[in-house]
Amino acid sequence: MLAAAVRLFNERGYEATGMEALSRALGITKSAIYHHVDSKEDLLRLAADRALDGLFEAADEALAREGRAIDRLEFLVERSVLVLADRLPFVTLLLRVRGNTEVERRALERRRAFDHLVADLMERAAAEGDLQAGLDPTVGARLLFGMVNSLIEWYRPGGDLDAAALAALVRRTAFDGLRARPAGR
Amino acid sequence: MLAAAVRLFNERGYEATGMEALSRALGITKSAIYHHVDSKEDLLRLAADRALDGLFEAADEALAREGRAIDRLEFLVERSVLVLADRLPFVTLLLRVRGNTEVERRALERRRAFDHLVADLMERAAAEGDLQAGLDPTVGARLLFGMVNSLIEWYRPGGDLDAAALAALVRRTAFDGLRARPAGR
């Protein structure tokens, strides 16, 4: 039921979709929905957490690794793309949240905590001399996840490009650039 | 008047904002608005064209340049970021257009034409051996403008980072990557 509700929110907009429309589209009564959740906000909370829990698990794994910050960042990006591909409708809904209700504000707060964590890793990478000279770590984190998050606009699982290939591609493009490397690297 | 209308559309959503709300927020009568434009769709068309005309001017300049496709792509990215920074509310509105009306569909069509143009340049860069091995040009174009377009989420002119510095940074990050280059390049 959650997946169907999220699909509908993504198609019609979360705010524009009421419980009435939800019950019609899902083909179940409103009381059947209320048997599972207390409100529309509850559905949003469950959906946002599905996305955010995945991202934070990826971050925990990245932080638990040994080695240089830049390598842990690369790992985190690759894992984040896998989460995005695997939970695409949930991440899509999360990224469109604007913050008008308590549930939305909480989701935005968790998103910001994730962004801070990325910026912190970026800062460490800069301190270790592994980041492009002159790049502010916060700006770097934004450009990096700007590229990752833009995948929701066009990536559709089941096509020619599987999630693992996509994740490797985004990682390589973000850290090594679009340009072909001169021989030797 | 157009700028004020676009600000309101971006804040409250284009679909959710009627002429009544527009006239209240702008502090002018509806008939004064209708003196300038025929409809809300007219405002959207003017705003989307403001963004799109800037992007196509940048593309025309890029295509008129001599040299390798990858260098023209770099030029186009830098100029696109400048257009985005200069016309931020218009580009923001454009990127949120979903295609429910004739005006919206036309804006989406022009966006797609721009994307194709970027993908074509990317294809030429690949043929010239300047693109990262194994990167599909269409995917490359999407990742590139995914990063550029994500700027609307956080970039605000007038802060520490001026538009020219931002444009140079995005160009460098997209083509050469976040990672510090080994000495010699």
Residue with tokens 């490797």, as numbered in its chain: A168
Q: Do B143 and A150 touch (CB under 8 A)?
A: yes
Q: What is the mean pLDDT of each run of 10 residues along chain A (185 residues)?
A: 92 87 90 89 95 98 96 98 97 91 95 97 97 94 97 94 97 96 62
- In the chain, the amino acid numbered A14 is Y
Cα distance from B90 to chain A (closest Cα, Å)?
A: 19
What is the rounded CA–CA span in Å between residue A170 and residue A77?
8
Q: Do A153 and B146 touch (CB under 8 A)?
A: yes
What is the rounded CA–CA span in Å between residue A102 and residue A144?
28
* Complex ipTM tops 0.90: yes
- The domains located in chain B, with CATH, are 41-176 (1.10.357.10)
Strands (E), B8-56: none
What is the rounded CA–CA span in Å between residue B105 and residue B10?
18
Residue B99 tokens read as: 């295609």
Q: Do B180 and A129 touch (CB under 8 A)?
A: yes
DSSP state of A179: B
Q: Do A154 and B142 touch (CB under 8 A)?
A: yes
For residue B146, list chain A residues with Cβ-Cβ distance below 8 A.
Answer: 146-147, 149-151, 153
- In the chain, the amino acid numbered A16 is A
Which pLDDT does position B98 carry in this prediction?
A: 84
What is the rounded CA–CA span in Å between residue A166 and residue A173?
10
For residue A177, list chain B residues with Cβ-Cβ distance below 8 A.
Answer: 132, 173-177
Residue A64 tokens read as: 């638990």
Q: Do B176 and A144 touch (CB under 8 A)?
A: no
Q: What confidence tens digit (pLDDT) does each residue in A94-147 have?
A: 999 888 899 999 999 999 999 999 999 999 999 999 999 889 999 999 999 999
Q: What is the pLDDT along chain B (185 residues), one digit of tens a residue?
A: 899 999 999 988 888 888 898 899 888 898 988 888 888 999 999 999 999 999 999 999 999 999 999 999 999 999 999 999 999 999 999 999 888 899 999 999 999 999 999 999 999 999 999 999 889 999 999 999 999 999 999 999 999 999 999 999 999 999 999 999 876 54
